[in-house]
Amino acid sequence: MSIDIDINIPGYTLIKEIGAGGMAKVYLGMQTLLERQVAIKILHQQLSAESDEFKKRFFVEGRVLAKLQHENIVSIIDIGEADGMLYMAMEYVENGTLTDWLKNQELTTDQAIQICSKVGLALHATHMQNIVHRDLKPSNILLRDINTPLLTDFGIARQTDIEEGLTQTGHIIGTLQYMSPEQIRGMHVDHRSDIYALGLMFYRLLVGQLPFTANSQYDLFRMQCEDAPPPLPPQLADLQPVMDAMLAKDPDDRVQSCLEFCKALQNLSITSEDYATELEGATRVYDSSQINAASFSSRRQTESYSEQFSNRTDTRKSGGSEQSRTLDGQQGEAGSDASKKSPMFGKPLKVALITLLAIAVIGTGTIVTMKFMPEPPVEVAVVDEKTAAEIEMLLESADFFLEEGPLINAGPSHAVAGYERVLTLQSGNPRAIQGLKTALEKILANIQSDIDSGDKKAARQLIQLAEQYYPGNEDLTELREKTDG
């Protein structure tokens, strides 16, 4: 691809475009003094100019990457701003992504185990820094070679100890096909959401397709939150208990760290003996600094999966026959208790979504019942590639405003306006519909807060703005009556 951007980054020369996303484009570049190729990620100029908050988010990603020194995490070289645009220089990995590889050929079982265990170790190092990736998928795995995956794209990562305010409960963020149930429902997300995504990717690499596929996003929502994954093929039965433990619907029932997942793999007969030895050495460095699930607000009190895994009989070491090892007390098949049990998610999805949307905690604890309920699934309009790219950029912008503000104002740049614009381009877009509902919840909360603090003028002004986008909304009408008193 040719260069379609006019920017002069001191010390670098752009060569060609090699990738693009909703918030940025990636170029192959040359670091002039060292004469080495680099990947340069440049934030879209529109986003850089719209809000200083976008700059903060971009630099957050840079700081996240700078903290993570691991052989299976892409290295950051530089970050800065040039000609009004933000850029990040990273190591260039010429073999592309795991997605690119899968377009041409599937992986062997041994390759799938190696890739996912190494990505698991990279995620464990990430989680030890209190960072949750939140968007793990094959397109975010670069390949130095087929046995050396590199975790990348921390654009929506969250540092749990210092950035709790950046992503609020009720906001859905990530890639739906690889989202955990709690992520889909806009609930609190911790490192165990990454474990679920790793399980989905592991399943995809082993079987050749994801466990959940559907013709509509609504159906995919439901399947991710309620359905047990199909069982692995018989030749992979040795991996079934591990898969069940990764894809449990309730985070408390999952493997509680990626390290436990890697240790489980090293004890399976399906893992080659040479790689099991290599993996044992890679996991040993963490033995003195085990991840403490309690520090991630885990409520799971049962025996750890690592203890269960350690109780296996290893035929390689015991001199036993070709017998597969299974978790003690568990059946090696899909739909085991671990994958089905979900007290946190026991309600059917529709009821749970209605519950989430129907109740908002306002101001100092006042509970207000919402008058809107989720609409039945609607047909999503088909759009061309150019429009789809525009929609993605608008959604990224609106999602950011939903997190950081403004939710709504008199100008054109706010969350509600962004989602409205998306719906004019693509009727039925579920992300925009959900965004408008979440924005309204937050707007109602802000209005109630203004009323509780005695600032009825500010409340009336916000109501007036909101009524332009949500005409006839009964909650707004009720709050307006409170300001008139």
Let me know how long the chain is: 485
Closest CA to 137 of 73, 205, 186: 205
CA 339 to each of CA 196, 206, 243, 336, 463: distance values in angstroms, whole numbers, following the listed order: 11, 18, 9, 5, 45
CA 195 to each of CA 83, 245, 260, 262, 285: distance values in angstroms, whole numbers, following the listed order: 40, 10, 10, 11, 20
DSSP string for 385-445: HHHHHHHHHHHHHHHHHHHHS-SS-SSS-SHHHHHHHHHHHSTT-HHHHHHHHHHHHHHHH
| 156, 396 Cβ separation under 8 angstroms | no
Looking at 110, 135, 250, 253, which residue is catalytic?
135
- Side-chain-side CA neighbours of 33 within 13 Å: the count stands at 2
CA distance 280 to 270: 15
249 CB neighbour count, 10 Å cutoff: 24
Rounded-to-10 torsion of CA 171, 61, 256, 236 = 100
Instruction: Write the CB contacts of 304 (distance below 8 Å, at least 6 apart in sequence).
Output: 256, 260, 293
Q: Is 350 exposed, middle or buried (0-12, 13-18, 19+ CB in 10 A)?
A: middle
CA quadruple 458, 172, 416, 427: dihedral sign:
negative
C-alpha 15: how far from chain center:
31
> Quick one: DSSP state of residue 328?
T
CA distance 313 to 326: 9
Closest CA to 20 of 40, 49, 48, 46: 40
Is the bond preceding 430 in cis, omega lying within 30 degrees of 0?
Answer: no
CA distance 398 to 404: 10
Structure tokens at 389: 């790219």
314 is catalytic: no
Q: Which residues make beta-bridge pairs with 149?
A: 143
**What is the maximum alpha-carbon separation in the chain?**
83
**Active-site residue list:** 135
